[in-house]
Amino acid sequence: MEQVLQGRCLCGAVRYQCHGRPLSVTYCYCKTCQQASGAPVYLGALYPAGAVRWQGSTTAYRSSALGLRHFCGQCGSTLFYECTDGSGRVEITVPTLETPAVLRPDCHEWTSSAIPWFHLDDDLPRYPQGAPDD
């Protein structure tokens, strides 16, 4: 049976579904993710673009040459990162899922940008820059 996860923004104006299993689930400490999320670390689940479907209107911001960040124009919730590098992938913001605990992180990436006083204590692989599969 295919796994289907539901998510939404804070106000509920944008809702989405993720079909199947993610390609990866990653903690990211890069400065761009820190600024976009307003947190010391961002947790994203990467899917093939066709596996993520949403209803409602998002506002997009080009945060780098590699992608667009989508957020709700009403409440400001960060929802997706759309890869524009030709890879056909979308990364959803895991905490916006209705059941975020069903996705377990695979690794920590861009730890070279981590805020020194913030540390998650686990045995997951840590990469100073992007994970090898990026």
SS (H, E, C) 58-79: EEEEEEECCEEEEEECCCCCEE
Average pLDDT, the chain: 94
Q: For residue 52, tell me if it sits in a domain.
A: yes
Share of the chain above pLDDT 70, in %: 99
d(CA 22, CA 114): 24
CATH number at residue 31: 3.90.1590.10
For the stretch 80-107, pLDDT in tens is 999 999 899 999 999 999 999 999 999 9
Q: What share of the chain has pLDDT > 90, as a percent? A: 90
Would you say residue 9 lies in a domain?
A: no
- Domain assignment present for residue 3? The answer is no
Q: Which domain covers residue 22, as residue numbers?
A: 15-127
Question: Does a structural domain hold residue 39?
Answer: yes
Query: How many degrees, rounded to 5, is the angle at CA 18 between CA 108 and CA 96?
Result: 60
How many domains does the chain divide into? 1
Q: Is residue 21 part of a domain?
A: yes
Inside any domain, residue 10: no
Asked whether residue 110 is domain-assigned, the answer is yes
